Amino acid sequence: MGFLLYFTLVLFIVVCVFLILLILIQKGRGGGLASAFGGGGGNTAFGSKTGDVLTWATSIAFGVFLLTAIALNRLADAKHNANKPQPPAPLPTQTIPVGSANPGQGQPAPGGPTAPSKGGDTSLPQPVPSEPAPKPVAPPTTQP
């Protein structure tokens, strides 16, 4: 894919330069660049119908410019996304129904085991941790 990206980039630059030069040699409606450098307005390099040929060539060059710009954008985006590291997969979580009939006794959800509900918002299921919480350790008692 790297070769195709750089080939399209070089083709894009060549088309840009060609389009710039093609536009600069056209006869302007108000004199334009030709009269700025002291050029005669009556003589043309390609005959009397150059406006039609140059207009046609400019339209074709502009179409190629647009196609190469779109292709270059798609190729650069694909290369950028291929070099980006993938995020790790999320850990699976289990949900429980909240607000069950017996708050101390959780009912199993269709997806697996559940934890007892503790009240609160009854509209959303609560995630269950995959590992049990550590049990608190009682401080040692000292006897006098």
Residue-wise pLDDT tens digits, 106-140: 555 555 555 555 555 556 666 666 666 677 777 77
Q: Lowest-confidence range among 90-94, 103-107, 126-130?
A: 103-107
**Torsion 63-69-70-75 (CA) sign:** positive
CA distance 5 to 63: 19
CB-based contacts of 30, cutoff 8 Å, min separation 6: none
Q: Taking the model in full, what pTM does it have?
A: 0.47
Q: Could you tell me where the DSSP H helices lie in the chain?
A: 2-24, 32-36, 50-83
Task: Considering only residues 89 and 53, tell me which one the structure prediction assigns the higher pLDDT.
Answer: 53
Give the pLDDT confidence score for residue 135 in this predicted structure: 75
CA distance 11 to 5: 10
